[in-house]
Amino acid sequence: MTGKEKAELRRKKRELDEKRPFQARAFSDFIARCFFGALIVCVSFAILYPVLALLPLAFTDMRVAGDPGAVWIPPEFSLQSFYVVFNWILRTSEALKDIPLELRPGPAAIFLYTLFYAFSIAAIQVFMSSLAGYALARTRFRGSTLGFLLVILVFLIPRQSFLIPQWLNFKQFDLFGLVTLFRGAPLDLINQPLTLYMMAFFGFLSNQSLMIFIMRQFFMAMPHELEEAAHVDGLSFNQTYLRIMLPNAAPALLTVASLAFVWAYGDNYYTAYFNPNGPYLGMVIQAYPWDSVWVLAAVTRDWFGAAATNNLAVESVRQAAVLVFLAPLLVFYFIIQRRIVENLDSIGIKG
């Protein structure tokens, strides 16, 4: 069928559509809206169900946990599970076993330390990713293509492949032999917060290669006239980057910042290997011996009179711990959710 015949068929179809009664078109549009609305509701429920399922049991009085008549509404509202999380789980976790009991940080200190770590790591990753992305997108130097391929390669290779050499390098840290020259022996940087910041600075923490890729693609989509106008006005390369390109890359920066914060906040991989004694919230909750059900059951029995054999009372504490961990992420999402997809179509695959 030739192009002219196809155009003629489309024209006849449009004419037939225009001849249909208005009520029929309105009814079909209404059916389409109902279908897509129902589809959105179903998909949203499937995504939110794991979070919604946590709420009833976490906010239920432990003595009536497991009431078969309560599915979505707690029969007796209570914050007992959260009390156990803050006064037992966050104080007796295995992640804090090397810290004397009198020196262990409280729940507020653990929260603040984790948030400070996540925000500071995110800030470093955003700056370094934007700097590397801008260099790969806007400058041409010998090996620039190879450098970008290496960035993609780091993203594709499983991070477990880098674990042993990274751990050994930080266990016996000796930068070009200078540390041994001036100190007499290499440095042991394992179990030091500095190690994680160094990995973020050099681009090897929490999928940072993906952040570099996002920034590169965004900068490649920006018009070159912005830089040309900046150079005409007398701005240097660095001034153009800081005063012109970065402010116009706000959508990509926000996307990278949100990814960096979420990954740093919930990271239990790099923190467990390179700073295991750090009081990170996710690691503290994960390291608690949840298999010791009898210990937690005894705690709930002594504190609230819940039956020691009530495993659902223990499960309510587990669900409360998950909500405690998710709370900062949910607050962070509701703050930025309107801007997270702003101009996201600009971050596409460019040549």
Q: What's the pLDDT band for 351 if we cut at 50, 70, 90?
A: very low
pLDDT top residue among 141 and 331: 331
Q: 267 in the Ramachandran plot: left (φ > 0), alpha (ψ -120 to 50) or beta? A: beta
| Nearest-angstrom CA–CA distance, 125 and 127 | 5
d(CA 188, CA 186): 7
Average confidence (pLDDT) over 183-189? 84
Higher-confidence residue of 334 and 216: namely 216
Check pLDDT > 80 for residue 23.
no
pLDDT band at 346 (very low <50, low <70, confident <90, very high): very low
Q: What is the pLDDT of residue 67?
A: 64
For the ranges 75-89, 216-230, 240-254, 303-317, the lowest mean pLDDT is seen at: 303-317
Q: How do residues 140-173 score in pLDDT, each as one tens digit?
A: 878 778 888 888 888 888 888 888 888 888 888 8
Burial class (CB within 10 angstroms; exposed 0-12, middle 13-18, buried 19+) of 260: buried
Tokens of 47: 């995504």
What pLDDT sits at residue 112? Answer: 92
Q: How far apart are CA 2 and CA 245, in angstroms?
A: 48
By C-alpha distance, which of 331, 348, 317 is closest to 83?
A: 317
Q: Which pLDDT does position 197 carry in this prediction?
A: 92
pTM for the complete prediction?
0.78
Provide the token pair at 128. 């370094």
Pull the structure tokens for residue 222: 């920006």
What does pLDDT average to over the chain?
A: 81
Residue 342 has pLDDT above 60, yes or no: no
Which pLDDT tens digit goes with each residue over 33-52?
888 888 888 888 887 777 77
pLDDT of residue 232: 85
Most confident stretch, 176-180, 329-333, 346-350: 329-333
- Residue 57 · residue 319 · CB < 8 Å: yes
* pLDDT tens, residue by residue, 71-88: 677 777 888 889 888 988
The radius of gyration of the chain from alpha carbons, rounded to an integer in Å, stands at: 28
Q: For 98, how many CA atoms within 13 A lie in the half-sphere containing its CB?
A: 9
Q: What is the pLDDT of residue 348?
A: 46
Domain ranges of the chain: 94-287
The residue-averaged pLDDT of 218-223 equals: 86
Superfamily of domain 94-287 in CATH is: MetI-like (1.10.3720.10)
Q: Which residues pair with 60 in a beta bridge?
A: 77
How many C-beta neighbours within 10 Å does residue 287 have?
18
